[in-house]
Amino acid sequence: MHRKPYNLRLFSGWRSLYHYSRYNWLNNELNNLNLRNLTIIELGCYDGKILNFLKHPPKEYLGLDANWENGLNIAKKKHINRKFASFKYCKRPEHIPDDKKWDIGISMQTFEHVPKQIIDDYFLKFSKIIRRRFYITIPIERGFPFLIATLSRINNNLFSKYTIKEILWSFFGKLDKIDRNEGHKGFDDRVFLKQLSNYFHILKINGIFPKLPIISLNLNIGIVAKPKKNKEIKS
């Protein structure tokens, strides 16, 4: 069966409500900032879609991506006239340039695809190059959000990725019993937040979709964090 292109899969039909929700959340968070005077670095930029949602262009923007589904190449062509924007291949923390600092860091629906053994390395790197805020969105892959997401993936080879036992462990939040892969499977938001808190002060967490007050009942959540000083970072 031929697989539809990334943007057509995620940003059309009913699924677009979920995937556009993170851009709306980010827009609301950045609404009071004068982006014309700020620099932005984004991990997992794909085709640089975020640039179409910002109210004002930033002073400088760097998009980092592993060129998944040719996204980085698309971005370079798509934004060729945006002189403030550049794009760079990145699949590991050491690929992130450290010759300058950035005011704002962004990473949306990306860290669940990062191998768990290098997430700390990413956090350490970003804590050193982000000046002000780090905006992150991640999915909830346990409980009812997992069940809802699971039902939406039934026609997407679900049972070749999860055993019945793994589905049950995920629903009951026993994610430590599931082997992580570089996808959503076994991703634990609780572990992620604990890791993040070693390098950043977590200022707030919001439910993004469907914006429920109980954070763990949302399909995805937004995190606003502030980098810790070197002496505050736990080794």
- List, in order of start, the domains of the chain with CATH numbers: 6-141+187-232 (3.40.50.150)
Angstrom CA distances, 145 to 141, 157, 213, 215, 216, stand at: 6, 19, 14, 10, 8
Mean pLDDT, range 84-110, rounded to an integer? 96
Helix (H, G, I), strand (E, B), or coil: what is residue 21?
Answer: helix
Range in 18-22, 56-60, 145-149 with the lowest mean pLDDT: 145-149
User: What pLDDT does 175 receive?
Assistant: 95
Residues 207 and 140: beta-carbon distance below 8 Å: no
Residue 37 CA from chain centroid, whole number: 24
Range in 55-69, 87-101, 104-118, 172-186 with the lowest mean pLDDT: 172-186
Burial of 199 per CB tally in 10 Å (0-12, 13-18, 19+)? buried
DSSP string, 84-95: TEEEEE-SSGGG
User: What pLDDT does 159 receive?
Assistant: 56
Model confidence over 14-27: pLDDT tens digits? Answer: 788 889 999 999 99
User: What pLDDT does 4 receive?
Assistant: 76
Model confidence over 200-220: pLDDT tens digits? Answer: 999 999 999 999 999 999 999
- Band the pLDDT of 48: cuts 50, 70, 90: very high
Comparing C-alpha atoms, which of 79, 77, 78, 85 is closest to residue 59? 85
The predicted model scores a pTM of: 0.94
User: What pLDDT does 5 receive?
Assistant: 78
User: What pLDDT does 153 receive?
Assistant: 63
Look at residue 45 and tell me whether its pLDDT is greater than 60.
Answer: yes
User: What pLDDT does 9 receive?
Assistant: 80
Rounded CA separation 168/4 (Å): 30
User: What pLDDT does 83 receive?
Assistant: 96
User: What pLDDT does 210 receive?
Assistant: 94
User: What pLDDT does 152 receive?
Assistant: 73
